[in-house]
Amino acid sequence: MELICPAGTPSSLRTAVDAGADAVYCGFRNETNARNFPGLNFSPEELAEGVTYAHRRGAKVLVAINTFPRAGAIGLWHQAVDDAVKAGAAALILCDIGLMAYTAEHYPGTRLHVSVQAAAANVDAIRFYVERFNAKRVVLPRVLSVPEIAAITRGTACEVEVFVFGGLCAMAEGRCSLSSYATGLSPNMNGVCSPASHVAYEEQHGTITSRLGGFTINKFGSGEPAAYPTLCKGRFRTDLSTGYIFEDPVSLDAATLLPGLRDAGVTALKIEGRQRSRAYIENVVRSFREALSALDEGRPIPAGMLRPLSEGQSNTLGAYRKTWR
Amino acid sequence: MKLTLGPVLYNWEPSVWRDFYFRIADEAPVDVVCVGEVVCSKRLPFFQDLVPEVVERLAAAGKEVLLSSQALITLERERRQTASLAREADLLVEANDVTALAHLVGRPHAVGPYVNVYNESTLAWLARNGASRVCLPPELPASSIVALAKACSDVELEVWSFGRVPLAISARCYHARLHKLTKDNCQFVCGKDPDGLPTDTLDGQAFLSVNGVQTLSSTYANLIGSLPDLAAMGVAACRLSPQTCDMIAVASAFRGVANGMLDPAEGQHALDLICAEASFSNGFFSGTAGAHHKAAAAV
């Protein structure tokens, strides 16, 4: 299985490649990618340099252009496709039907990967992208169990890539407007979720309240670490109970599932976290490289090897375990 | 301006569901009615047998009937159901996922609000491949709606205009989770909340509404004050999404404003009385946070 690693900056790209990534994925410094955060991402020139660096070490660079182009401003997204192809990207990771059509028409020789933002969760949806736009790989949304993934790989010739580590959307990706409901900025349109520009913390009588767009997302008592107010990982109140009603502040760690994912016919494993530090990238990539080597050599995979790196001190297998639902 | 009644998104008692559509057929001044289970395939068996008589009653009343497909399809059973709906239906099918589109391309069909149509390029592709009407994602601002309407005059564009806004869909059932049940053994607890389960912030502010695997806004979208603007933009239809309030009265208010019989302020006043318990929003349309509400003149 290929190891696909995040690169938020040119130096992270080099770090990921050196730590054993088979491919890194990155995006341009604008709203064409779903990690449109200040201080992150690549200029076309930086991308070209990154591709050269990766190629010299036998790695590939995949470019995520995985937001939905804004009506009346498609040129920005077309430019991103043109620049990525020119820089030598091994594949483009896309979610928008119109942008896939543009890419398939203008660059038929370029590999097209279906982004997780397209939420292609079954073989018919995957077939649509393969037949219409010659997609070569699909990144599956984080809504499927391992047996369901196995059924998908049996039912399609398209390569399958799955997330194994990092942040975890509780909602089907590319189909969530929670962030824009509270802030006006969304993953689909702006490449941001629960953006820092709309976050506020307030301390009163020893309680820290975190807010997003003015809505209280969580409250923390003294000694409790105040987590970032990602909307779907907040605490809310209903008549039935109060708490983490959508998802606990956990992140995905599917390292223990690697044998099952291999047996399920998965082609590539993806690590989330283009916004993460170089030290984090190096640790995670190295750990997964070791885990994959262990898998190839028939050795047991060390459990919990990455726990100290996870965002909320606890991990989940997410939808890979059916009872998550 | 046409009025479309969207599909019932909640788990209503089958008899309530049927009688609701019968009354719509008999009394509601809407042009198009969507029927089908969009949110959770486990609910469908309860009312599936009632669909033919509901469709017949609506058609006899002169309504155009669309069959809506499910929004998130992960199970093999759901995939087969969607394929059969898309391939065998006699009526126009509204695709709410690419899964249904896979079967519908090349034939006339509708595209629902759960398919990501954000720009003129995607809209044009869908139109070339058989989409005759498209209900746009509720997140779209007026500036995008204008650009889409200008670019593609051969598709009837529809805008989410009334009712809680669908914000997210998940593989996880939050109703089951809140009742400490698993999705596979959910006991259909979502049926206890025919308008969604109110989900407030820890400060007690109304925020969201849980409907099984779907999360909606606490506020009701309400574009009645912008109907003249929507018409001027070239929008062909407004979607009214069923809530438990009097949807006949809601449709009549929208019809009144669309016809010019009521001015937008009178329409708004009517809605204030019809759904006195609801808070309204139009922030997505005005390009700000979706939860915001601006009076019509300010939009």
Interchain proximity A121–B74, CB inside 8 Å: yes
- As a whole number, mean pLDDT of residues A305-310 equals 59
Nearest C-alpha of chain B: how many angstroms from A106? 14
Q: Do A125 and B73 touch (CB under 8 A)?
A: yes
A79 close to B (CB below 8 A): no
Residue B299's pLDDT band (cuts 50, 70, 90): very low
Residue contact B151–A175, C-beta within 8 A? no
Cα–Cα distance between B37 and B211 in angstroms, integer? 13
Interface of B with A in 84-113 (CB under 8 A): 97-99, 101-103, 105
pLDDT computed for residue A311 by the predictor: 47
- Contact assessment for residue B214 and residue B169, using Cβ atoms and an 8 Å cutoff: yes
User: Closest to B102 (Cβ–Cβ): which among A101, A125, A213?
Assistant: A125
Q: Tell me if chain B has a CB within 8 Å of the CB of A228.
A: no
CA-only gyration radius of chain A, Å: 19
Task: Give me the mean pLDDT over the A27-45 stretch.
Answer: 93
- CA proximity to A284, closest of A276, A275, A296: A276
Question: 0.90 cut: is pTM over it?
Answer: yes
Contacts of B290 in chain A (CB under 8 A): 177, 180-182, 184
Q: Give A171's contacts in chain B (Cβ within 8 Å).
A: 168-170, 215
Give the one of A125, A178, A325 whose C-beta lies nearest to B171's C-beta.
A325
Average the pLDDT over B102-126 and give the result.
Answer: 97
Average pLDDT over residues B182-187: 93
Residues of B in contact with A104 (CB under 8 A): none
**Record: contact A171-B168, CB cut-off 8 A:** yes
Residues of chain B with Cβ-Cβ distance to A148 below 8 Å are 74-75
Residues 6+ apart with CB under 8 A from B273: none
Interface check for A197 against chain B (CB to CB < 8 A): the answer is no
Q: Which residues of A touch B75 (CB under 8 A)?
A: 148
What is the structure's pLDDT at A109?
97
Q: Is B9 helix (H, G, I), strand (E, B) or coil?
A: coil
Residue A110, pLDDT > 70, answer yes
Residue B290 touches chain A, beta carbons under 8 Å: yes
Domain boundaries, chain B: 2-298
Q: Are A118 and A95 in contact (CB under 8 A)?
A: yes
Cα B198 to the chain's mean position, in Å? 19
Instruction: Determine contact: A226 vs chain B, CB below 8 A.
Output: no
What residues in B contact A237, CB-CB < 8 Å? 199-202, 204
Query: Which amino acid appears at position A68 of this protein?
Result: F
Strand partners, A111: A91
Average pLDDT in the A129-144 region?
95
Distance from CA of B182 to the nearest CA of A (A): 7
Beta-carbon separation of A325 and B173 below 8 A: yes
Chain A residues with CB under 8 Å of B137 CB are 177, 188
Pairwise CA distance, residues A168 & A176, whole Å: 13
Q: Are B253 and B224 in contact (CB under 8 A)?
A: yes
pLDDT at A313 over 60: no
pLDDT in tens, A70-109: 999 999 999 999 999 999 999 999 999 999 999 999 999 9
Q: What percent of chain A has pLDDT over 70?
A: 97
Find the closest chain B residue to A102 by CA distance: B121
* Domains, in order of start, for chain A: 2-168+250-324 (3.20.20.70), 178-243 (no CATH)
| Cα angle: B116, vertex B122, B125; to 5 degrees | 130
To the nearest whole Å, the CA of A67 is away from the closest chain B CA by 10
The verdict on a CB contact (< 8 Å) between A118 and B98 is yes
Out of A181, A235, A324, name the one closest to residue B289 (CB): A181
End-to-end CA separation in angstroms for chain A = 27
Please give the CATH number for the structural domain made up of B2-298. 3.20.20
Indicate if the pLDDT at residue A304 is higher than 80.
no
Closest CA to A65 of A96, A42, A39, A44: A96
Count the residues in chain A: 325
pLDDT in tens, B46-72: 999 999 999 999 999 999 999 999 999
* Contacting A residues, span 202-221, partner chain B, CB-CB under 8 Å: 209, 213, 215-219
> CA A138: distance to chain centroid?
13
pLDDT category, B298, cuts 50, 70, 90? Answer: very low
Per-residue pLDDT for B25 more than 60?
yes
**Per residue, what are the HEC states of chain A?**
CEEEEECCCHHHHHHHHHCCCCEEEECECCCCCCCCCCCCCECHHHHHHHHHHHHHCCCEEEEEECCCCCCCCHHHHHHHHHHHHHHCCCEEEECCHHHHHHHHHHCCCCEEEECHHHCCCCHHHHHHHHHHHCCCEEECCCCCCHHHHHHHHHHCCCEEEEEEEECCCCCCCCCCCHHHHHHCCCHHHHCCCCCHHHEEEEEECCEEEEEECCEEEEEECCCCCCCCCCHHHCCEECCCCEECCCCCCCEEECHHHHHHHHHCCCCEEEECCCCCCHHHHHHHHHHHHHHHHHHHHCCCCCCCCCHHHCCCCCEECHHHCHHHC
Contact A237 B217 (CB under 8 A): no
Element holding B24 (H helix, E strand): helix B14-27
Contacts of B216 in chain A (CB under 8 A): none
Mean pLDDT of chain A: 93
Q: Nearest Cα to B210, choosing from B228, B233, B192? A: B192
Predicted-assembly ipTM surpassing the 0.90 threshold: yes
pLDDT in tens, A198-224: 999 999 999 999 999 999 999 999 888
Q: Rounded to 5 degrees, what angle do the CA atoms B230, B101, A68 make?
A: 55
Question: Is the predicted pLDDT of residue B160 greater than 90, yes or no?
Answer: yes
In terms of C-beta distances under 8 Å and separation of at least 24 residues, what long-range contacts does A150-156 make, across chains too?
A150/A263, A150/A264, A150/A265, A151/A123, A151/B76, A152/A122, A152/A123, A152/A126, A153/A264, A153/A265, A153/A266, A154/A265, A155/A123, A156/A123, A156/A126, A156/A127, A156/A130
Residue B125, pLDDT > 80, answer yes
CA pair distance B270, B250, nearest whole angstrom = 8
A86 alpha-carbon distance from chain centroid? 24
Q: State whether residue B110 is helix, strand or coil.
A: strand
